[in-house]
């Protein structure tokens, strides 16, 4: 009996040792998991706090920023009725932050002639835009944001954050901003020819407006706007989704080169291939992708749809929504999509002001690109990189033919 008792005690000791060992291993595993969690949490926290948007290897090198201007001691720019008076009053810049310049409200008030109507160059959904002149002679556009409450503050912060870090010749450059008291102002490069919408619809979108934008210029604008979206989608991580891409947010310089502007509604997209972010539905009627409008699921393909609508505007000279049109023609995408892949019908939908300027082959190809971009199913839409690759040869070929025969006047569409 005693031998059996000893065996039992030994087995009991072995079981106890195994249990203690397993408990120790479990404790060590928990400690290791907790340490790894702390490490990941600190890493994510640092990234969120810095709001970094690291560029991929294919991204261009950052453009040099102008040095900050230090105001002279003891001087303050008074309010004035002219931009030149504001320039003479002294330096407008009161500091610099993260590569952009900080301005005081009174200084920008002076630079824009007191935000007078004579200096107003545009009126957007987020506020009026005024022409101004900095002390160094640079012409600028100053957006006086008037969206109240939390939404207005979020839009202001998002635009400052993004444009302080993104660098592309196809995006409108942010020179500085003002956040003083209740005032929120953004200072941009001045674009002498305003927005694309103004040139497509000289009479405000009515049927009688005749655009003076010729075919080669429209092709180039389409390409440069596509390059702007390609940069946002493909060249930064995580990708940036514009969310309000439209013809009024494509600005033109004195030579009609295009820049994508207005990033107040922009969102950071998903890092995962085919991933989405869920957000409330915002944007402009006629440009919003159907799947985003229905579900709130936002992807870069949502911007591709909006780009397709702009491409249709360039092709047809029609606004995205015009319920004064005949039945069936009020919504541009619904009217145009069935005809975009039919060679003979493409000619019927082209802007009449383009008569005699385009190659029919080129017009059919641009129409096919637009058709792919406005597909109802997001998965069927191309990447913006594919759109750029499709447009580049069209723009090059048209530019080359114009150089070879600059005085040629076509009396009908070229075959």
Identified catalytic residue from 136, 244, 262, 386: 244
Q: Structure pTM?
A: 0.72
Measure the CA–CA gap between 364 and 355, rounded to whole angstroms: 14
Please tell me the predicted confidence (pLDDT) of residue 4: 57
- For the chain, what's the residue count? 415
pLDDT for residue 163: 85
Q: Return all residues near 95 (Cβ < 8 A) that are at least 6 apart.
A: 68, 101, 102
In this predicted structure, the answer to whether residue 127 has a pLDDT above a threshold of 70 is yes
Q: How confident is the model at residue 371 (pLDDT cuts 50, 70, 90)?
A: very high
The token duo for 69 is: 């201007």
Q: Which CATH architecture has domain 83-189?
A: 2-Layer Sandwich (3.30)
- Does residue 85 carry a catalytic annotation? no
Our measurement of the distance from residue 312's CA atom to the centroid of its chain's CA atoms, rounded to an integer in Å, reads 19
pLDDT at 401: 58
* pLDDT at residue 387, as a whole number: 98
Confidence of residue 44 (pLDDT cuts 50, 70, 90): very low
Binned at pLDDT 50, 70 and 90, residue 202 comes out as: confident
Average pLDDT over residues 187-209: 82
- Identify the pLDDT of residue 356: 80
pLDDT for the residue numbered 155: 81
Q: How confident is the model at residue 36 (pLDDT cuts 50, 70, 90)?
A: low
Mean pLDDT of 22-37: 72
Helices 360-373, 384-404: crossing angle, 10 deg rounding: 160
Q: 328: Cβ–Cβ under 8 A, 6 or more apart, which residues?
A: 334, 335
Buried b (16+ CB within 10 A) or exposed e, 202-219: eeebeeeeebebebbbbb
At residue 123, the pLDDT reads 77
pLDDT above 70 as % of the chain? 74
Signed CA dihedral, 2, 6, 11, 12: sign only? positive
pLDDT band at 167 (very low <50, low <70, confident <90, very high): confident
pLDDT at 312: 98
Q: Which residue has the higher pLDDT, 166 or 80?
A: 166
Q: Are strands 174-180 and 100-103 parallel, antiparallel or unpaired?
A: parallel
Same CATH topology for 83-189 and 196-404?
no
Contacts of 239 (CB under 8 A, 6+ apart): 232, 233, 268, 269, 270, 300
Q: What is the pLDDT of residue 5?
A: 62
For residue 410, pLDDT over 60 is answered with no
Interatomic CA distance for residues 315 and 31, integer angstroms: 63
* Mean of pLDDT values over 215-243: 96
Q: How far apart are the first and last CA of the chain?
A: 109
Residue with tokens 């953004």: 186
The CATH number, out of the four listed (1.10.510.10, 3.30.470.20, 1.20.1440.230, 3.60.21.10), of the domain defined by the range 196-404: 1.10.510.10
Distance CA 376, CA 307 (A): 14
Mean pLDDT of 261-282: 84
Confidence of residue 28 (pLDDT cuts 50, 70, 90): confident
Q: Domain residue spans in the chain?
A: 83-189, 196-404
Tell me the per-residue pLDDT of 306-324, one tens digit each, with 9 for 90 and over.
999 999 999 999 999 999 9
What's the mean per-residue pLDDT of the chain? 79
In the three-class reduction of DSSP (H, G, I as helix; E, B as strand; rest coil), residue 321 is classed as: strand
Is there a contact between 225 and 171 (Cβ–Cβ < 8 Å)? Answer: no
Helix (H) or strand (E) holding 121: strand 120-124
CB 183 within 8 A of CB 143: no
Higher pLDDT, 246 or 64: 246
Specify the DSSP element, H or E, that contains 139.
strand 139-145
Give all strands of the β-sheet with 120-124 in edge-to-edge order: 93-97, 100-103, 174-180, 183-189, 139-145, 127-133, 120-124
Higher pLDDT, 146 or 247: 247
Collapsed DSSP state (helix, strand, coil) of residue 290: helix
Rounded CA-CA distance 131/55 in Å is 32
Contact 249, 176 (CB under 8 A): no
DSSP state, residue 377: S
Helix (H, G, I), strand (E, B) or coil at 392: helix
- Report yes or no: 84 and 134 within 8 Å, Cβ to Cβ: no
Q: Once rounded to an integer, what is the mean pLDDT over residues 142-164?
A: 81
């Amino acid at each position: 009996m005693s031998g059996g008792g000893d065996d039992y005690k030994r087995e009991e000791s072995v079981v106890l040792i195994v249990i203690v060992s397993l408990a120790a291993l479990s404790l060590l595993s928990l400690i290791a998991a907790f340490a790894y969690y702390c490490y990941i949490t600190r890493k994510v926290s640092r990234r969120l706090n810095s709001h970094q948007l690291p560029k991929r290897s294919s991204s261009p090198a950052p453009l040099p920023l102008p040095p900050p201007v230090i105001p002279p001691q003891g001087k303050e720019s008074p309010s004035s009725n002219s931009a030149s008076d504001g320039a003479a009053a002294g330096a407008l810049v009161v500091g610099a932050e993260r590569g952009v310049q900080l301005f005081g409200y009174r200084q920008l008030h002076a630079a824009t002639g007191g935000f007078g109507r004579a200096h107003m160059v545009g009126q957007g959904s987020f506020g009026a835009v005024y022409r101004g002149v900095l002390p160094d002679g640079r012409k600028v556009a100053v957006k006086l944001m008037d969206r109240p409450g939390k939404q207005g503050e979020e839009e202001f912060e998002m635009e400052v954050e993004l444009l302080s870090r993104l660098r592309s010749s196809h995006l409108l450059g942010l020179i500085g901003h003002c956040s003083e008291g209740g005032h929120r102002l953004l200072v941009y490069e001045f674009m002498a020819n305003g927005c694309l919408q103004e040139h497509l619809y000289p009479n405000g979108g009515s049927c009688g407006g005749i655009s003076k934008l010729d075919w080669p210029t429209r092709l180039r604008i389409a390409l440069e706007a596509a390059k702007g979206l390609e940069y946002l989608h493909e060249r930064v991580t995580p990708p940036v989704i514009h969310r309000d891409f439209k013809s009024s947010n494509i600005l033109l310089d004195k030579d009609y080169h295009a820049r994508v502007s207005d990033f107040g509604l922009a969102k950071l997209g998903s890092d995962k291939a085919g991933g989405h972010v869920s957000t409330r539905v915002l944007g402009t009627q006629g440009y919003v992708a159907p799947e985003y409008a229905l579900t709130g699921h936002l992807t870069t393909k949502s911007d591709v749809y909006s780009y397709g609508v702009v491409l249709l505007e360039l092709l047809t000279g029609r606004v995205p929504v015009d319920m004064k049109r005949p039945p069936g023609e009020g919504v541009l995408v619904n009217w145009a999509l069935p005809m975009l892949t039919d060679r003979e019908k493409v000619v019927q939908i082209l802007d009449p002001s383009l008569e005699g300027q385009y190659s029919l082959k080129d017009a059919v190809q641009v129409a096919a690109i637009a058709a792919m971009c406005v597909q109802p199913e997001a998965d069927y839409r191309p990447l913006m990189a594919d759109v750029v690759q499709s447009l580049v040869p069209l723009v090059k070929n048209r530019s080359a033919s114009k150089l070879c025969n600059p005085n040629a006047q076509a009396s009908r569409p070229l075959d």
